[in-house]
Amino acid sequence: EAQVTQNPRYLITVTGKKLTVTCSQNMNHEYMSWYRQDPGLGLRQIYYSMNVEVTDKGDVPEGYKVSRKEKRNFPLILESPSPNQTSLYFCASSLNSGAGQPQHFGDGTRLSIL
Amino acid sequence: SQQGEEDPQALSIQEGENATMNCSYKTSINNLQWYRQNSGRGLVHLILIRSNEREKHSGRLRVTLDTSKKSSSLLITASRAADTASYFCATNTGGFKTIFGAGTRLFVKA
């Protein structure tokens, strides 16, 4: 089954404790992206990757890091999480980045930073 | 800043009625997409309309695009309780970014 898998689905942690949210897709997609969703603000793009070893900032990259060492994986790293990063996070992928292809989304990761 | 903004923010209708949601955007686009999000789940792609298209259909969905007014509408005909969800428009300006609006929450009463 074609899917985007995120882990963990839920996480409660404390300020400053490094964490990683993993994202994996099994569709051989070139393009992957991370979004955060906050009430009233819709989805905002954090980082995206056009292919292996090619990443770029989205609209809200501060406080986040990503890497794309393999085509299928695109982890999101919070080196020193803060309470304003409490949010619902989504990973998405599409066949390629050309002309806004339809994206496949994971089921989300709800992060609470205390 | 948000490219796409949906209107209304929330909509409540009876089963069988039609639901119309609107999306306005600010800059020229390459394409516009609509997504659905069920509570607590990821977004699901519904339909994509390119800048040179004016109308597109998919089952009970009808999407229109007016590039002169920088707006799009999503019509769901003969709505069902299962259509209860949030609906988002997303725009692409030809680059690598896709920008989502804040969404319309649709509630269909059985």
B104 or B92, which is more confident? B104
Q: Do B102 and A107 lie within an 8 Å CB cutoff?
A: no
Q: Which residue of B has its CA nearest to A106?
A: B42
Pairing state of beta strands A76-78 and A19-25? antiparallel
Closest CA relative to residue A47, chosen from A25, A71, A67, A17: A67
Phi/psi region, residue B52 (left: phi>0; alpha: psi -120 to 50; beta: rest), is alpha
Instruction: Write the pLDDT tens digit of every residue in B52-77.
Output: 999 999 999 999 999 999 999 999 99
In whole angstroms, what is the distance from residue A80 CA to residue A91 CA?
Answer: 20
**Per-residue pLDDT at A80:** 97
**Could you tell me the pLDDT band of residue A99, with boundaries at 50, 70 and 90?**
low
Average pLDDT on A48-69 reads 94
Average pLDDT on B23-31 reads 90
* Residue A6: both structure tokens together: 């995120």
User: Chain B partners of A97 at a C-beta cutoff of 8 Å?
Assistant: 96
Residue B1 has pLDDT above 60, yes or no: no
User: Do B62 and B56 meet the contact criterion of CB atoms below 8 Å apart?
Assistant: yes
Q: Do B96 and A4 lie within an 8 Å CB cutoff?
A: no
Q: Is B59 on the interface with A (CB under 8 A)?
A: no
Chain A: give the shortest CA distance to residue B103, in Å: 6
User: Chain A partners of B88 at a C-beta cutoff of 8 Å?
Assistant: 42-43
Average pLDDT in chain A: 93
Q: Is A61 on the interface with B (CB under 8 A)?
A: no
Pairing state of beta strands B19-24 and B71-76? antiparallel
3-state secondary structure of B61: strand
**Could you tell me the pLDDT band of residue A97, with boundaries at 50, 70 and 90?**
low
Average pLDDT in chain B: 91
Annotate chain A with three-state secondary structure: CCCEEEECCEEEECCCCCEEEEEEECCCCCEEEEEEEECCCEEEEEEEEEECCEEEECCCCCCCEECCCCCCECCEEECCCCHHHCEEEEEEEECCCCCCCCCEECCCEEEEEC
Chain A: give the shortest CA distance to residue B110, in Å: 26
Residue B2 has pLDDT above 50, yes or no: no
Average pLDDT on B34-46 reads 93
Per cent of chain A over pLDDT 90 is 85
**Per-residue pLDDT at B40:** 80
Q: Do B31 and A4 lie within an 8 Å CB cutoff?
A: no
Q: Do A4 and B42 lie within an 8 Å CB cutoff?
A: yes
User: Chain B partners of A33 at a C-beta cutoff of 8 Å?
Assistant: 98
In whole angstroms, what is the distance from residue B9 CA to residue A67 CA?
Answer: 35
Instruction: Write the pLDDT tens digit of every residue in B87-103.
Output: 999 998 777 778 888 89
CA dihedral B65, B67, B69, B73 (to 10 degrees): 10
Residue A98 has pLDDT above 70, yes or no: no
* Residue B104: both structure tokens together: 């319309």
| Peptide bond connecting A75 to the previous residue in cis, omega within 30 degrees of 0 | no
Chain B: give the shortest CA distance to residue A49, in Å: 9
